[in-house]
Structure 1
Amino acid sequence: MDKLRRYKWKVLILFVMIVLFLPLFFLLSKKPLVSDVYINPKEVKDAVDKYQYVSGVIFGLEDEIEVEISGEKLTSIFKAASHLTPNMNFEIKVSHYGAVVLGTLDLSGFINNRYVNVSCFIIPDGNNAIDSCQVGGIYVPGSLVEFGVSVFLKIVFDSGVNDIFEQFIKSIEIEDNTLRLRAIKNGDLKNYIKSGLSDISSFIKSFSSRYNNKIDPDVIGSYLEFMLESDVIMSKRKLSLSEIFNVVFQHAKERSRISDARKENEYALWAVAMAFANHRFAELIDADTYSIGTKLSNLSSKTASLNNRNDLALHFLYSAIIERVGSEAIANNMGELKELFDANQDGSGFDISDLAADIAGARFSNFISSRKINAVHSQNLLIASHSEALFFPNVNRHRSITSEDFEKVIGSTENEEYTKTIEKLQAEVQALTLYQNSSLDDLSRNKSLAIIDTIPWASNGVWLAVDTHIHTKHSDGGHSIEQIANKAVSYGCDAIAITDHSDGDLHAGSLDYFLEIEAIDRAFPTLSIISGLEWNLPPYEGREHATLLFPEGHTAAMIASQFRRQFDDYRNPNNPFSSVRDGLKWLESSFDSYPVLPAVFYNHPSRKVDSFEETLRNLEDWAKENSVFLGFSGAPGHQRVPGDKIGSYFHKFKTHDRWDPVVSEVGGVWDNLLGKGKLLWGARAPSDFHGTRGDYWPCQFSETRVYSRDNSINGVIEALRKGSFFASHGKVVRDLKFELKHDKLERPAIMGETVPISGVEKLTVNIELTLNELNWKGKPTKLEQVELIVISNETVTSQVFDVEDYKIGHRIVMSVPVLAVGGDMAIRLRGRSFQPINGDYMFYTNPIMVRAIDETN
């Protein structure tokens, strides 16, 4: 009897499962009815224009509604709807018989390769235009569809909205491939629809959130009052988003002691968005817009910026709020549609930076309130850091693409490079520090106490005078390569690099150009002439430059000329998505079979930038995922330009004693990078020679002194790559020995090398400078000061020594003890020769690095 009872239960359970899941068999399909939908800027504009037209008619003052839309515009609207809604695609086909509406819901994320396909036939008959629909394999009569939609509209919105729907269905006319709708409205449709959409959003959010999704306007008000009382916010006219978040999330953290951190983060975000983007966001949470606007009147003169741009901050905050009321995917899709709209003829262009801000804002909004651990993690980081790099990727490598270039090169969202760029942006945002719950040491740990990054010629190299940045008649220089080579030899150069501008309309950068440099190099047996370019870095279109030095080899000229065609950014619209990192990775892979890779240095870093934050983030970004980007010019060329215009620094920042502030400011950009363990070299002083009006000849005044295995082209590039060089002005210092001694090492480490330590260690810095007898003017050399700069985590210390106490003839010999307390360090050196005008003559070295290791692992 028990067996029979159990058998009956099994049969019953099986029957129930069949009843429940059998419809799924008919609903689901293996192939989508509407596959991927692509859209171009014109179609986006058509959709937006028609949306504005229809909404203007429906929500206007007139009671009578009459809407007319062509089949072409309907196609654009359905494409835009497909692009906006995640995992859903739509299509409409209009003829004089009627219309077919098709749709596909992609369930691949839940059920492998399964879709729900829907098709509806619309045939105008003056009664019910919906003839029939099919959902998967299930046929649904049109009357039943209309009934279902009516019930939904009445429940979610209002009977007035349903009344408009029913009138539209009965009044549909299709003639000359054009759809016409008529209705007479009754009531405030706009508020009915807004209220209904808000209810839908809250309903959906309730499934993905574990806390109450209701927003309390009074709590928002407390956050706004907190901002108004903040000295940081009220004392400035322009604030970065990181500064604002730093203040507001302190309040969120304080309130989280007795509240849910996720909810407090959401309140903080709403408050910032209302204060610095649009106070009318209050309408979305049923708050009193007038009251909030009045409260924020004292903030009306203040603006928020992201990457020093107000528009990026607005994109970020708008996208964040769209995520709050919709979803992250919808926010991203809306941002993309907006940029596609701007890519039209009269638009501002497709700006990838704007899109990055949209993606970053949506990710930020979702993450900070998704889980308690993420909420607390976000509060801690946003309070501890003042850097936008925490939550916003580096967008300085992206440019705005004009409508003409977009149409010519990209066309639509189907373009493969376009898709890759969007995916790359999303990956970069996801890789930001804020979204990593634990930060991993990106430096390899080495248990051995052998020197890391060893320089093989440390004990038997030669000092060479090198100029790595020279222009000729092939671009905007005034002399031939032969004339420059002869002058370089007369001023003591051992190696020079010809680096003409790589603008597309110049001979420089062509195959013949590189072959000519190689031929002239063979004619000067004592002088190595390196082939190079001054690369116009994307997306700056000629504003920012980098020196490229190519190794010697049979195919080098051909590869170099191909690089110029593909990656130079001056008047080159053919590859609008290319970035500096793309070019660097291409260089690395193209020269992979060579004994030494190319060398790339950023030129005159502060000449045209508006903030050091931009420089810092660019340098960090360009150094990723490649080993050819090495550093920057510590000292710019154009040293003959007088006064505060030295280096042709006519913009915001000026040189300090002839050196770029990126290098010369102790604790500045370079020290910040070194403190993070970023091995970038800045002890470079090229001439940037164009002519004698503003420049000195190569090696006449500026020198990069390279400690190399030999004077070959590849030998010089290899030494530059290793960081085995220093730079000076005025021909004061001939060579130097800068070493870091550790009792556990077989020999002291030199510039460019890394010393491993374990725990607290006593180190010794040994310095030996050899001065020239005469300086560049032919006068006796003098050096008054040597300065030792030690970067340890976030601390930078400086010791200045009077060299009179350490002079032995033309040599300066000194030893300085340094205590390493178990953390990573960088140690660099600079010296000073006092001058009465135009700044002192300085020399700068590259650092010796110290890396803490754990010998217990």
Structure 2
Amino acid sequence: MILRSVKWLLISIAFIVFLLVATVVTVTVMAVQQTPLVASTAPTQLDGADSVNELLGQLQRAFSRREEGHQVTLTETQVESLVGVLQRALPDFKGVVNITPIGGTINVTYAITDMGYFVNASALVLPGDSLRIEQVQIGDLTIPGRFLLRFLERTVNSYTQSEIATIALSRVERVTMRSGELTLDVGRLDELLSELNVVASNMSVTEETELQRLAAYYLRYISGREIALSDKPVSLIEYLREGMARAREQSRTSEDALLHNKAVILALAVYVGHHRVGNLVGDIQPDPNKALKPRRGAVLHNRNDLARHFIISAALELLSEQGMSLAIGEFKELMDRGKGGSGYSFVDLAADMSGTEFARVATEPSTALRVQNAVARIQSELEIIPPIDGLPEGLSKQAFTEQYQRVDSEAYLKEVKEIKRRMGLLPLYQP
């Protein structure tokens, strides 16, 4: 009798496993397709990047006046620009948005690299007194939007151990659409922003990581050096030399060097880049209410903005997916083409690309020790960033469009190639 029971139990388990496997295979087959749904390109979408400044202004007003209701208007151009920067960082991803008076559609495609298959998804959003997703199509699968929205709400709440998703959805009091434009009437945001503090507390890592500990150590160390008290701007190489010399003393193996180099870069990004970079690293400030910073900013080519571009791009390269830091830097320059911005600058882009490359060689096991030795003895800024003479900057959107059209044009790629050529002449970045 016992043997028979065990036999049937094993058969039942095997049958359940078979059903689960069959379900997963069926869903996968239905979700994966052989042709892409979206063929849009990032360069075309990024053409409207300067329009995102207006959206950021709306969000800033809503957050600063959190006890009032607000209207936030998104245009197709703004949304597609944000999709474009994501596609620039993740080339296998494509997306497109279409907004009409009766509804908005979001179509995305993700290419399964080297297999010739695609995951296609689309969603239909309708106007109304709340956020309404009518349906979601993933390949040949159709999922009711109401079910998916409820599932996402519960998943986010569970993951964050909060009610953040429920509160966020409840803030949307009305959705109206017209051709190329979607407007959200949102209620007061004070409760939502308070709940964000709960999320931050719940999601915080209580155990200090080794990288976080070292970044905090180098932040204190560098801020205590004499150069931090200088009344005159100090070259970024002075800060790098101090940090890397100390890192070299602390490193015995290439793995040690890699970790210490990361910590130096992150500490400098917080110290001479922007203190908010620390939010991505963890709690590394000795006094959380007063961020450490030098008396005068660091410079490269006698410019503070280039030093900040360099070191923040280096930090983003360590903290984000490969390629994301360059995509963010490029997007920022495209935004600057708009009215009130500083204009598109290939000089800034050169600093971004140099910072990204510096982070790469400083954290490669095969080159981490070499970088420590080189930077500890560095004498010239031209060892980490190439000359910037002749690189165009301050281009308005009209001037940029007239000269370069888009970021995939031959003229634009020629400028990027020139930056790479100059960087390739620097011994530090050579194989």
TM-score (norm 2): 0.80
The residue number in structure 2 matching 1:173 is: 176
**Distance in 2, Cα, partners of 1:181 & 1:350:** 31
Distance 1:347 1:39, change over 3 A: farther
Three-state SS of the structure 2 residue aligned to 1:171 is strand
Q: Which amino acid aligns with 2:170?
A: Q
Post-superposition Cα deviations, 1:7-33, rounded to whole Å, max 9, x if no partner, equal x9xx99999876554433332333332
**Distance in 1, Cα, partners of 2:225 & 2:378:** 17
2:212 corresponds to which of 209, 215, 227: 215
Three-state SS of the structure 2 residue aligned to 1:33 is coil
Kindly report the root-mean-square deviation, in angstroms, between the aligned alpha carbons of the 2 structures.
3.8
1:138 corresponds to which of 138, 141, 152: 141
**Distance in 1, Cα, partners of 2:168 & 2:230:** 53
Shift of residue 146 of structure 1? 0.3
**Distance in 1, Cα, partners of 2:422 & 2:22:** 46
The residue number in structure 1 matching 2:55 is: 50
The residue number in structure 2 matching 1:243 is: 238
**Distance in 1, Cα, partners of 2:289 & 2:371:** 28
The residue number in structure 2 matching 1:274 is: 270
Shift of residue 214 of structure 1? 5.3
The residue number in structure 1 matching 2:5 is: none
Post-superposition Cα deviations, 1:227-265, rounded to whole Å, max 9, x if no partner, equal 345456656833322232122111112222498322211
User: Could you list the runs of 5+ residues in structure 2 that have no partner in the other structure?
Assistant: 1-10
**Distance in 1, Cα, partners of 2:141 & 2:233:** 59
1:785-804 equivalent positions in 2, closer than 5 A: none
Three-state SS of the structure 2 residue aligned to 1:172 is strand
Distance 1:168 1:141, change over 3 A: farther
Q: Which amino acid aligns with 1:383?
A: A
User: Could you list the runs of 5+ residues in structure 1 that have no partner in the other structure?
Assistant: 1-7, 203-210, 438-857
Distance 1:345 1:162, change over 3 A: closer
Matched positions, count = 409
Shift of residue 156 of structure 1? 4.5
**Distance in 1, Cα, partners of 2:241 & 2:352:** 20
Task: Tell me which moved more, 154-163 or 74-83.
Answer: 154-163
The residue number in structure 1 matching 2:73 is: 69
Three-state SS of the structure 2 residue aligned to 1:242 is helix
**Distance in 2, Cα, partners of 1:134 & 1:174:** 22
Match status 1:305 vs 2:307: no
Shift of residue 80 of structure 1? 2.5
Match status 1:340 vs 2:334: yes
Task: Tell me which moved more, 305-314 or 26-35.
Answer: 26-35
Higher strand share: 1
Match status 1:284 vs 2:270: no
Match status 1:264 vs 2:260: yes
Shift of residue 396 of structure 1? 2.2
Q: Which amino acid aligns with 2:96?
A: E
Three-state SS of the structure 2 residue aligned to 1:187 is helix
Distance 1:290 1:180, change over 3 A: farther
1:19-418 equivalent positions in 2, closer than 5 A: 20-35=24-39, 36-39=41-44, 43-57=48-62, 59-69=63-73, 73-85=75-87, 86-87=89-90, 88-108=93-113, 111-126=114-129, 129-157=132-160, 159-167=162-170, 171-175=174-178, 178-184=181-187, 185=189, 187=191, 189=193, 192=196, 215-216=212-213, 219-231=214-226, 237-257=232-252, 260-287=256-283, 291=287, 296=292, 299-301=294-296, 303-369=297-363, 371-400=364-393, 402-403=395-396, 404-418=398-412
Post-superposition Cα deviations, 1:564-590, rounded to whole Å, max 9, x if no partner, equal xxxxxxxxxxxxxxxxxxxxxxxxxxx
Post-superposition Cα deviations, 1:468-521, rounded to whole Å, max 9, x if no partner, equal xxxxxxxxxxxxxxxxxxxxxxxxxxxxxxxxxxxxxxxxxxxxxxxxxxxxxx
Contact (CA 8 Å) 2:125, 2:132: kept in 1 or not?
A: yes
Shift of residue 92 of structure 1? 1.4
Post-superposition Cα deviations, 1:370-394, rounded to whole Å, max 9, x if no partner, equal x433322321222233233443233
Q: Radius of gyration: which is bigger? A: 1
Distance 1:94 1:296, change over 3 A: closer
Higher helix share: 2
Shift of residue 121 of structure 1? 0.7
Contact (CA 8 Å) 1:315, 1:361: kept in 2 or not?
A: yes
TM-score (norm 1): 0.43
Q: Which amino acid aligns with 1:124?
A: P
**Distance in 1, Cα, partners of 2:169 & 2:81:** 25
Shift of residue 98 of structure 1? 0.9
Post-superposition Cα deviations, 1:210-237, rounded to whole Å, max 9, x if no partner, equal x957513xx4443234334545665683
Q: Which amino acid aligns with 2:368?
A: A
Contact (CA 8 Å) 1:341, 1:347: kept in 2 or not?
A: yes
**Distance in 1, Cα, partners of 2:37 & 2:152:** 22
Post-superposition Cα deviations, 1:727-757, rounded to whole Å, max 9, x if no partner, equal xxxxxxxxxxxxxxxxxxxxxxxxxxxxxxx
Contact (CA 8 Å) 2:37, 2:109: kept in 1 or not?
A: yes
Contact (CA 8 Å) 1:67, 1:181: kept in 2 or not?
A: yes
**Distance in 2, Cα, partners of 1:152 & 1:430:** 47
Shift of residue 312 of structure 1? 0.9
Three-state SS of the structure 2 residue aligned to 1:260 is helix
Distance 1:173 1:354, change over 3 A: same
Contact (CA 8 Å) 1:92, 1:102: kept in 2 or not?
A: yes
Higher relative contact order (CA 8 A, sep 6+): 2
**Distance in 1, Cα, partners of 2:334 & 2:190:** 36
**Distance in 2, Cα, partners of 1:191 & 1:395:** 46
1:616-765 equivalent positions in 2, closer than 5 A: none
| Identity fraction in percent | 21
Three-state SS of the structure 2 residue aligned to 1:182 is strand
